[in-house]
Amino acid sequence: MLLHIPDVLTSDEVAGMRKQMDGAGWTDGRETVGPQGARVKRNLQLPQASPLRKALGDQVVAALGRHPLYHAAVLPLRTLSPRFNRYEGGGEYGFHIDGAVMAVDGEAHVRSDVSCTLFLADPEEYDGGELIISDLYGEHEVKLPAGDAIVYPSSSLHRVTPVTRGARIASFFWVQSLVRDDSARRLLLEMDTAIRKLSADGADQASILQLTGVYHNLLRRWAET
């Protein structure tokens, strides 16, 4: 499921994070990938051990915790601490698939069910830098306003096109969902969305209660903890 999550961060939150990153010490992004990824990756990242990376990552996680659509779509169980990257001067990341299981600096292992990119630069700030996600329906080009996020299955082939002007800055991370199967997560999101809409429209409460019971019984059947 490819889904746009709007307004994860406010413009003031984005500006504050960008200001802190202006004087940061960025390092070669190839340090965090294996030999195969290193052949196609050209970007910069905040060092994993950086206190700034940790502080900004905590801010991202807190913002996601306040976003109902993110929770309904992703159903997060474990989240790998967010990282931050910067593409400029022709920087790009060729087609690749994210690793299936990840762990960094003593964190618990996370099975990567869902990948997320949170944009921290507006589209007019840079040329190129589109996130291209390939699935059964073709290639999808993503370039969102600062503060918005995109979530998609970690099993998807994807790339970032070369940045030819300005700088593309983003946070990225992976999530192990309560529900491993992407199609099951989509069905649960559709049902959750319908229940919220029916409730807002004042539909029959007995019917809403019945649908809510079906939702939770499906989640109970599919959830892994």
Question: Tens digit of pLDDT for each residue in 89-124?
Answer: 999 999 999 999 987 666 678 999 999 999 999 999
The reply to whether 164 and 130 lie within a common domain is: yes
Span 36-51, average pLDDT: 91
The reply to whether 160 and 189 lie within a common domain is: no
Phi, psi of 91 (to 5 degrees): -60, 145
Span 150-167, average pLDDT: 97
The reply to whether 127 and 198 lie within a common domain is: no
How sure is the predictor about 9, in pLDDT bands with cuts at 50, 70 and 90? very high
pLDDT at 126 exceeding the cut of 90? yes
The reply to whether 81 and 192 lie within a common domain is: no
How sure is the predictor about 225, in pLDDT bands with cuts at 50, 70 and 90? confident
**What's the pLDDT score for residue 98?**
93
The reply to whether 121 and 215 lie within a common domain is: no
The reply to whether 193 and 154 lie within a common domain is: no
Angle at the Cα of 210 from the Cα atoms of 209 and 216, rounded to 5 degrees: 85
The reply to whether 98 and 22 lie within a common domain is: yes
Burial of 110 (0-12, 13-18, 19+ CB in 10 A): buried
Contacts of 106 (CB under 8 A, 6+ apart): none
The reply to whether 60 and 87 lie within a common domain is: yes
Span 57-73, average pLDDT: 97
The reply to whether 87 and 154 lie within a common domain is: yes
198: left (phi over 0), alpha (psi -120 to 50) or beta: alpha
Question: CA 144 to CA 93: how far, in whole Å?
Answer: 18
| CATH number, residue 191 | 4.10.860.20
What integer best gives the mean pLDDT of the chain?
Answer: 95
How sure is the predictor about 23, in pLDDT bands with cuts at 50, 70 and 90? confident
| CATH number, residue 155 | 2.60.120.620
Q: State the residue range of the domain holding 188.
A: 182-222
**What's the pLDDT score for residue 32?**
75
How many independent structural domains does the chain possess?
Answer: 2
The reply to whether 190 and 203 lie within a common domain is: yes
